[in-house]
Every structure is written in C-alpha cells, then in structure tokens.
Amino acid sequence: MIFVVEKKALFTTGTSVMWKKLFLALLILSTGFNAIAQSINYKNVANNDLIYVLNNFQKRYVYSDHKTLNIAVYLVADRQGDPDAPADCKNAASVYVAVSEVNKAEPEQRVFKLNPVCDPKFTNWVKSKKMYKIAFSYGTGTRKKTATVGISLKKLVVE
C-alpha cells in the first residue's frame, strides 16, 4: 500500500478567512454572554451586615482572586425562608451572595439577595445554563472593578 500525503500551507487564504469568521463568532457569543450576566437583577438585603449573613446562613462557596480583584465571594442559602419577601417569593430557597474585599483593615462589603422565584430572568438563565452567574462591580471612578463568577447548582448542595 502506498499513502500519498500532500503538504499544504497552514494558513492559506481560505483558512485565514475561516479563522477570522470563527474569531468574530466567538466575540459575538462572549458579548451576548456578558449581556445576559448584566441583565440579572440583584436585590439588596435589608441587613447589609456581612458577618450576620455568614453566621446565620449556611456558607456554600468561596471565590477569591487576590491578583486582580482581591475579593472573596460567599454564596449562602437561607433555610428558614424570607418573611419580608412578597407573597409569591416566600420560600426557603432564597440565596444570598456576600462579596467582601480581602486583606484590608476595613473591607468594602456587599450582600445581595438572589431569589429565583422573584426574578424571572434569573430563573430562566439558571434553568438553561445550570449555573448561577454572579456579575458585580465595586470601587469608585477609575478604580472600579468588575467580576463575573459562575457557580454551578451542585455547589448549593449541603456539604
């Protein structure tokens, strides 16, 4: 048996155009992905005390990126339900996200409430992607930083 192998240039005119189209498609997909993340509406928790939330709710996940954002993200779940929520939102599946700066004497801290029953966009996105997408910004002016954290639904299971 004889095999004939042809040598072709790696980037011919046809493949170059294909790579450009592929790159453009990936760029468009990533832009759409960010738009979805930004469309998620977060509700601020009435009690913004991070220590209270972490002590009274079950901590499920920690994310920290010391090189770029210098933050810690805690995903916590309320097992008691939310008595202050509207009637259609009173369930024991309320989820809170606590964000805190790390390695600072007085860290900036924020607590957000994610309730899938009250936020259709959030619910649909979670059902389709099987993941919590947390996009948030902190800081002021030119020092403002943005982070996006993806947390799979498996992380919500009690460990």
Domain-by-domain residue ranges, the chain?
Answer: 39-156
Over residues 70-123, the pLDDT tens digits come to: 666 665 555 555 555 555 555 555 566 666 666 677 766 666 666 555 554 444
Please report the pLDDT score of residue 17 as a whole number: 72
CA-to-CA distance for 116 and 65, rounded, in angstroms? Answer: 27
Report how far apart the first and last C-alpha atoms of the chain are (Å, whole number). 60
CA-to-CA distance for 54 and 146, rounded, in angstroms? Answer: 23
Give the closest residue to 38 by CA, choosing from 111, 113, 117, 125: 125
Please report the pLDDT score of residue 73 as a whole number: 63
Surface-to-core class of residue 78, CB atoms within 10 Å of its CB (0-12 exposed, 13-18 middle, 19+ buried):
buried
- Please say whether the beta carbons of 134 and 97 come within 8 A: yes
Range with the largest mean pLDDT of 20-34, 83-97, 99-113, 144-158: 99-113
